[in-house]
Structure 1
């Protein structure tokens, strides 16, 4: 549908636009947001950047339950106010050491004439995008209310190309599909692949963060920020009008949200640029969250870890201790009489091997899964009292392991799989967190596999969003860091609670052992999942033909690059120690790469095709560059003009060889050393599903003796 016909459609839907409008410009005056009321008193907004429309006139409001008059129209503007925000804040960890929050704000207070209810719309205009939210002040005419549906619209200017996953109340663990918006309906059935818990809801429903590209080169991202006490938002597409409408995750009885005044919704975010790298560089999501509520953050420290995990995922070992029991009753089942299955991975002896490996190679921590009783019947049984998060199996010496790790200078990472029985987790949480403190565990990996208990609830409903937040805040009381898997997708909340150092919330490396992910998957994640915060993707797999017969669709050089392109303050080297011993020269990059950054530059970016990022490490001043590539081989170019003028550096380049391919020859790589300066330019090949990783460090003349200089 052409832009002219779309504009005509909006005039039909909304009638002639009211002449009474408010305009908000971004600080650089390149972005323009317009707010107005239609003749029927319906709130409408639109967005232009550089004079070009990004969001066509789009309506705002709510359908309310058990209320004859919804919050959709009949409004008048009671008052407006504008202000400017310009601050620079220091993240505890992040992609840079300083973040500027610079935006102009418009507050519009609306009063519904017939009911007297008040609703505030607050808009913030940044140079690269917009955030808006609804606020409901304390008022006589409105106390408690139930949301039937939020009706925020995002009207597109055309049939954009989108990188999407199916709208689902229970999982984000899907491969991305690239298609026109008009093609989503026809592709939905094939896009929905099996998962341990899933509830897709529509033929045209998709999840945020949604990344799109228009025919005229605009990269557009839709997401949300500061998701607190509210259900997660999906997007429902009208594929005739090319209009997205918010679709909130319901609870077990179908209600979308229970609110009482004063309250506010999360921010709805729109990021847009003609440069895809600007989307990656945007900090709108974080800037729309509140500052840290943790005063002393010295205990929050990035970690690089190994663990007893990949061997379970690939089927080499098991989480469970025995095959004797079909059902477990905690406190009653006698494990001392059980026959060990000899496949249990979390044994004292095996864990000590990982601790030794971590200590030898300078890793901070070791994750152990399957250490606690109850794994024999944990999944698929709709069981409430499934784990106690306290009692170890007979072959796991909890105290002895803690002492051994302490002697080796290694921290242990606790694992809490809830089996989605969240009431059970909350009843044990204080004792479980205290146990971690007692044994010196600084971080917990929590999991929410399976259908929710209470039965009928969904992973992304308001009730569960509140649970995940409760777990983060409770962990902060014990000075513990949280890495939540299968939880709601992040929305920048880690600014407010920086002990949330990681989430999964997308299709991670484990799916490479479940049949594989698309080779371009990791070129899309930075534009989608990571818009809201870091991902515990668990990279670093060197043996692509895994134990259970699956194949990892990646080259070895691509796996190295992920430590730069998929930012996280929590990074795992996921493979077996023996596979790292086979490739010690490549493993060196994982040992060297930083976790926390002073500056990040987005050198090349095209969602679905390639991403190249350069980052400067805090403290050391070293630079690291990572490139990940899609399905087709490509030669990219890196200009080293980010280096300090007048200095020569040593660049260690880990790259695909010319014959590398993610499917047929994934371990074909080479390591080159070159002298570089600010004028140097590198042209580097990336194989299909491949990439490259570079470490750049200051070097003396002696270090550079015999090293070839890379010319400009």
Structure 2
């Protein structure tokens, strides 16, 4: 592990026994956020930002059997500490160095449980801990009520139930109109006017994921899927399960253990949500001792474009010749990987290759070209054949796996993710989870887990028309705060709304070409897909060369300008080069910004923007080159659903 650590501890004497005041206050390092905690038969907390109340009398409790952890406590003692350290993540999604700075208050109850609150400059979090001596127990429920002082607008990813791919739109709804029957997955954003908050969790392990429902007034109340005791595959399915019986508890567990962090990320400006790192900082420490073999990169992906190759002398499809062609394409542009998606194995048996596929030959061919091969698998089949299948993949020399269709986050499914991550790491395999819940800390513990879905991405254009520019400008502020998202960008067939049409086998984007290119700079995914056909990319050389040049990990990130649902302009640095991406909503836009972040020196800036006819023909784009410096300003014009990207190479 690569850490530079400086920790300052401030220990405070035990607090008074219950029955006294039992009120505690915690401040963020900058003093602008305050958390007030009261323990008097209940654990209640309130949060104020810049002197203005944000949350009031929010509730935190665990029900262990029939026992409330808060009510059963007869005394409480307090301990405080302050932490300052610099982290060097194995996979730098936003920054190669992350400053961690927080103040922490831990309240020790006399029933072998504690609750810890942390205050950062950009949010607060709390979690319960079961100490050694608490024994084995069932968590029958967890009470987490988040009560806002004022009326707010929730961006609500509404769900129909706990079995879900968590690929939802963020529907604006006044908090006061949400009731307990309306369920949402995380993360979820609440616009409180002066500040925006995103609610999510991290450190999720051996425990169900948290969901939210409406509550009385301006509140949200946690919901959790109960443990699955019996499930079976639906008839004629290798992936979709019928949940036949659930327990009357959330988790069977025991101490000592740490429960997940409940996060309230706070932003005074929308741009702050795009650089918030609380999901990573509150995750468990890295468990992989050797991460040097992990290679982030870009992937030529087959499924979205339905293997639609043209201008070739073989029949395209799920066969060895097609994937060798993908490898040739990847090698030509320096892409690190290709993906073999559904069809390469006989469904239900990972040990039996499909007709016309020779995976070993494909992997060997890729090795000659320095292109790795990632293999798609259905989660349930992998569960049954894990050791044999992963051993075979490793023997073949595969680079990683894409695990799909989990669609749950109950206790056992969450544990499945951790088991896959660990077993894959033992064999030096990368992991991409699809059909998954949001990131919640696993990627820090096991950095071979490079990305995951749990986002309504480009694949939906194959069957729907609701992937709008506004949607694309909402998910980075909410879903991406939780961690990398495998949106799978890169459509080379582009349309405006009036000429967009749905085609499952020959899909298109409902945005401009430059909007698609900008996603490679703005959207974070250390394993980033090229979703379209290699034949289309070869036809569109300027776009493909730009995509190929964009890194998937970054040393530095600057948000030039951003507004939820409206626009994003992001600048990122890798080494001495900078990349800038701009995405706009459904209206034509103009922006001007300075390049002061470049510092000293001259740069050659190559940009791709919307062409003069992009408002009617979304694929129209223009390529320009000019010399710039930190004193330069840039003016850009975006078509409806438009974008702009640039690479700045230091001279």
Q: Return the TM-score normalized by structure 1.
A: 0.81
Please list the CA deviations of residues 461-501 of structure 1 after superposition, one character each: whole Å capped at 9, or x if unmatched.
01100011110011111111101111221113211110110
1:576 paired residue number = 533
Q: Distance in 1 between matches of 2:75 and 2:45?
A: 14
Q: Provide the residue aligned with 1:493 in structure 2.
A: 442
Contact 1:81 1:108 in 2 (8 A): yes
Deviations 1:71-126 (A, max 9, x none): 35354442110011111111112211111111111010123xxxxx3421101111
- 1:399-410 pair list within 5 angstroms: 399-410=360-371
Deviations 1:473-530 (A, max 9, x none): 1111111110111122111321111011010111121111121323322212212222
Number of the residue aligned with 2:101: 102
| SS, match of residue 597 in structure 1 | coil
The offset of 1:626, in angstroms, is: 1.1
> What's 1:677 paired with?
629
1:615 maps to 572
Counterparts of 1:657 and 1:157 in 2: how far apart (Å)?
47
Q: Is 1:207–2:158 an aligned residue pair?
A: no
**Map of 2:16 onto structure 1:** none
**Runs of 5+ unmatched residues, structure 2:** 1-18, 229-245, 495-500
Q: Is the 8 A contact 1:602 1:612 kept in 2?
A: yes
SS at match of 1:60: strand
Indicate the SS of the match to 1:672.
strand
Give the 5 Å matches for 1:89-238: 89-94=87-92, 95-111=94-110, 117-139=111-133, 142-167=134-159, 168-171=161-164, 172-184=166-178, 203-215=181-193, 217-238=194-215
Aligned counterpart, 1:259: 253
TM-score by length of structure 2 reads 0.88
CA contact (8 A) 1:316 1:343 kept: no
Residue of structure 2 equivalent to 1:79: 77
Aligned mates of 1:485, 1:210 — CA distance in 2: 20
2:644 to 684, 688, 692: 692
Q: How many angstroms does 1:632 deviate by?
A: 2.4
Give, in whole Å, the separation in 1 of the partners of 2:620 and 2:294: 38
8 Å CA contact 2:514, 2:644 repeated in 1 = yes
In the TM superposition, residue 685 of structure 1 has moved relative to its aligned partner by 2.0
Alignment of 1:505-520 (within 5 A): 505-516=454-465, 517-520=467-470
Measured after TM superposition, the shift of residue 680 of structure 1 is 1.6
Greater CA drift, 565-574 or 649-658: 649-658
Corresponding residue number in structure 1 for 2:618: 666
Distance change >3 Å, CA 354–CA 372, structure 1 → 2: closer
Match of 2:326 in 1: 354
Contact 2:155 2:173 in 1 (8 A): yes
Deviation at 1:234, TM superposition (A): 0.6
> Which residue of the partner structure matches residue 45 of structure 1?
45
Q: Indicate the SS of the match to 1:475.
A: helix
**Where does residue 9 of structure 2 map in the other structure?**
none
Q: Which residue of 2 aligns with 1:710?
A: none
- Cα distance in 2 for residues equivalent to 1:360 and 1:344: 19
The 3-state SS of whatever aligns with 1:623 is: strand
What is aligned with 2:240?
none
- Output the CA distance in 2 between the equivalents of 1:344 and 1:408: 21
More strand by share: 2
Structure 1's 527 and 76: CA in aligned 2 closer, same or farther, altered over 3 A?
farther
Q: Is 2:273 aligned against 1:275? A: no
Q: Secondary structure at the match of 2:422?
A: helix
| Unmatched 5+ stretches in structure 1 | 1-16, 112-116, 186-201, 318-341, 376-385, 450-457, 700-712
What's the CA shift string for 1:339-363, capped at 9, x where partnerless? xxx9982201111111111111211
Alignment match, 2:490: 540
2-structure distance, mates of 1:406, 1:130: 46
Counterparts of 1:648-659 in structure 2, within 5 Å, are 648-659=602-613
Q: Note the C-alpha offset of 1:159.
A: 2.3
Number of residues of Structure 1 aligned to a counterpart in Structure 2: 600
Contact persistence 1:302–1:569 (CA under 8 A)? yes
Displacement of 1:213 after TM fit?
Answer: 1.6
The C-alpha deviation readout for 1:555-612, integer Å capped at 9, x for no partner, is: 1111100011111111111101121122211222101111221100112122222222
1:174-223 Cα offsets, whole Å, 9 max, x none, are 222123223456xxxxxxxxxxxxxxxx63222211122223x3111111
| 1:692 Cα deviation after fit | 1.2
SS across alignment from 2:474 = helix
Residues 515, 550 of structure 1: 8 Å contact kept: no
Structure 1 residues 549-564: aligned runs within 5 Å: 551-564=508-521
